[in-house]
Chain A
Amino acid sequence: MNPEKVVFGFFIVLALTLNFGFFVGEIDNPDHHHAWELFAVVVVNLITTILKFGDRTQMGAVLLATSLVAMLQLLAAVLVWTLAVHVSQAGMTPSIMASIVSLSGGAMIANVVSVVLLVIETVMLRR
């Protein structure tokens, strides 16, 4: 067993599970989506992205790409949230919440792809 692979797999799956946790619930209901969950998703996704650095295989490149996509989406969601709460006068409205959650939904797709790739790579490993 390679401990590096354990950590790698752990963070990739955790990124997806946390992302899913944030995503579920009514799309425009702020009560169903907590800021702390998004914070955890962003941190874990950042860690995942960095863990994917420096892999020279084709699979590694695609994994890194999916992580970068997820980061892009999540940072957009964070930005929208921050702007809504701290900058705009109206505060958090259901429509803004909906766009935040849909952005995180996009990130979740990227994370799903990432996990699928991880599974494929594991399956293709020769014993």
Chain B
Amino acid sequence: MDTIFFLILRRMRTPLLTLIIAYAVAMAGLALIPAQDATGQPTTMSLFHAFYFVSYMSTTIGFGELPNAFTDAQRLWVSVSVFFTVAVWIYAIGRLIALLQDNTFQRAIEERRFRNRVARLRQPFYLICGCGQTGSALVRGLTDRHRHAVVIDIDPDRINLLQLDNQREYVPALCADARKPSILDAAGLKHPLCEGVVALTNVNETNLKIAIAAKLLHPTIQVICRSDSHEIEANMASFGTDHIYDPFDAFAVYMALAIQSPCLTLLLDWLSAADDEPLSEPCYPPTNGRWVICGYGRFGKAMYQHLKQQGLTLSIIEALPHKTGIPVEGIVQGRGTEAVTLEQAEIQRAVGLVAGTDEDADNLSIVMTALQLNPDLFVIARENHLDNQELFDRVGAQSIMHPSTIIANRIRVRLVNPLLADFSNLARAQPEDWACELVSRVAGLVDERVPHVWEITIDETQAFALCHAKARGFTITLDMLLRDPRDRERRLQAIPLLLVRDDSLQLLPTLDQRVRRGDRLLLCGRIETRSDMDWVLQNLHALRYVATGESHREGAVWRWIAAWQRTR
């Protein structure tokens, strides 16, 4: 038990003891002093009546003199004891209430309640440390897919905001320091259903500490960290952190891919978008010419490295080059917010601009000035705070880099559809035409909204009927699964993207593939399609119908009747 509970109990001693002693003295006095009954005969007050009288005297309610009118001696005693019992009563009650309202005590109660709630979780969940922009976006993404999450953050305001947010699933949240292992334990780090720990605080060292604690206390767990320092990344990787996300690197890699193959970028954008987002337009960053990078900090360096690999000519603007270091191209010193600096970096002849300082106002100013000088620029703007979304939407940048959203999106995809990461790795090896063709297929499948992407594991829980199909003597191909269970001539609006069988991956599996127990499938399509397909997977009647075109009697009684009919 927590120390604070004992401390509170210990502090309760004095008020309670004074209360008992005051009561005992007042009662003893009343019962000892001679009284008289209604006829004037001398008698004594019983202890019961004394207790009764003292309890209402001390709370100052005052019901009069009971059971008989008092003698003057009794009245003298009452007039003394009314003062001390009332004073003691007020003191004791005041102290007790103050103790119960004690801040540390309340926090201890909160923590205990949280611990119990987490311990009672009966669904797999992820432990998310840090609920800033990234964390809350991730929580939303997970709960929208009916995944469970437990949240810790050090800032009470963020926890309150999270509770105000309308989540689809219940999210236990605690305001505490995630660096303490005991807090991580309370949040279910050792819970058998805890599937992973996601460390998303904006302090690299805290994330590192969470990762270490997670790996030590629950070694089999998946640990995902955010980090924007290469040093800490290497440190995290050294003890086996499963996935480390650096928002700047992630975006730079994404941009490099967009320059190489816009179709594949668009495809992956669609597949990894949150449900119900509108289909995004493809963006075509210029593939040759000069790019101007403003700001040579963490983001600037990552962009520099990846753009250079694409064979682009670069010029860099940086206000404090002695701090950030100087690339081989040299540096134009300045902030880039003035026309002079931008002209020095030859903005008129440039094709692209990266406004990548850590000040949103500077970035906006850079973009506006640069577009005045050269309206044909392809502009990438770094948005540091989500509050400025509206301004960035209007400034005319083709691509906006927002660290939190990028990380949240990546982690959400990693947690919800782990196969999508395998898919994109394989897809990168394919030619650009392949991606363009798939984009048009996906676009034909859905209208306006991004496709729903989901995974199926062929096992007893997710595909009951399919697991029992073999016993009934029919084999199932992918083609059958994609038929409408209402009318098997119609096709379901879905594309199988990936089939995983015994560690072998098949990109866009052909429809005549057999589907077996233990297979894992990644599909995309309309969200309604998923429920139709679940029907086929789970229901033997529907499965038999799409497989053979006939519907049999399946229940035990019906089968018996059918057998009986056959024998006749």
Contacts and interface: CB of A to CB of B under 8 A. Distances in A.
B13 A56 contact: no
B12 interface: yes
A26 interface: no
A115 to B, nearest CB: 20
Given A35-B46, A35-B47, A39-B47, A56 B6 contact: yes
A65 interface: no
B7 interface: yes
A11 to B, nearest CB: 10
Contacts of A55: 6, 10
B24 interface: yes
Given A46-B20, A82-B48, A53 B13 contact: yes
B368 interface: no
A65 to B, nearest CB: 14
Nearest to A11: B17
Given A56-B3, A86-B46, A47 B10 contact: no
B46 A54 contact: no
B86 to A, nearest CB: 20
B17 A47 contact: yes
A85 B7 contact: no
Interface string B2-20: 0100111111110011001
Contact of A85 (B12, B21, B46): B46
A54 B10 contact: yes
Contacts of B429: none
Interface string A12-48: 0000000000000000000000011001000100110
A50 interface: yes
B13 A50 contact: yes
B6 A54 contact: yes
Interface in B1-44: 1, 3, 6-13, 16-17, 20-21, 24, 27-28, 31
A54 B12 contact: yes
Contacts of B1: 56
Nearest to B25: A43
A55 B8 CA distance: 11
Contacts of B24: 39, 43
A51 interface: yes
Given A50-B16, A54-B7, A39 B28 contact: yes
A50 B47 CA distance: 22
Interface in B132-156: none
Contacts of B47: 35-36, 39
Interface centre among A47, A51, A55 (most CB of B within 10 A): A47
Assign chain B's interface to a size class.
20 to 34
B28 A54 contact: no
Contacts of A43: 20, 24
A18 B565 CA distance: 89
A35 B11 CA distance: 32
A39 B25 CA distance: 11
A54 B9 contact: yes
Contacts of A82: 48
A50 to B, nearest CB: 5
Nearest to B7: A54
A16 to B, nearest CB: 18
A78 to B, nearest CB: 8
Interface in B405-448: none
Contacts of B27: 39
Most buried by B among A35, A36, A46, A85: A46
A52 to B, nearest CB: 9
B263 to A, nearest CB: 66
A53 B48 CA distance: 27
Interface string B362-386: 0000000000000000000000000
B58 to A, nearest CB: 15
B46 A47 contact: no
A47 B28 CA distance: 16
Nearest to B46: A85
B511 to A, nearest CB: 67
A104 to B, nearest CB: 15
Interface in A52-86: 53-56, 82, 85-86
Nearest to B15: A50
A85 B48 contact: yes
A51 B3 contact: no
A30 to B, nearest CB: 14
A82 B27 CA distance: 15
Given A43-B20, A82-B48, A51 B28 contact: no
Interface in B525-543: none
14 contacts: A39-B24, A43-B24, A46-B20, A47-B20, A47-B21, A50-B16, A51-B13, A53-B9, A53-B10, A53-B12, A54-B6, A54-B7, A54-B8, A54-B10
Interface of B: 1, 3, 6-13, 16-17, 20-21, 24, 27-28, 31, 46-48
**Closest 9 A/B residue pairs (Cβ):** A54-B10, A54-B9, A53-B9, A43-B24, A56-B6, A50-B16, A82-B48, A54-B6, A46-B20
Given A39-B27, A56-B1, A82-B48, 19 more contacts: A35-B46, A36-B47, A43-B24, A47-B17, A47-B21, A50-B12, A50-B13, A50-B17, A50-B20, A51-B17, A53-B16, A54-B7, A54-B8, A54-B13, A55-B6, A55-B10, A85-B48, A86-B46, A86-B48
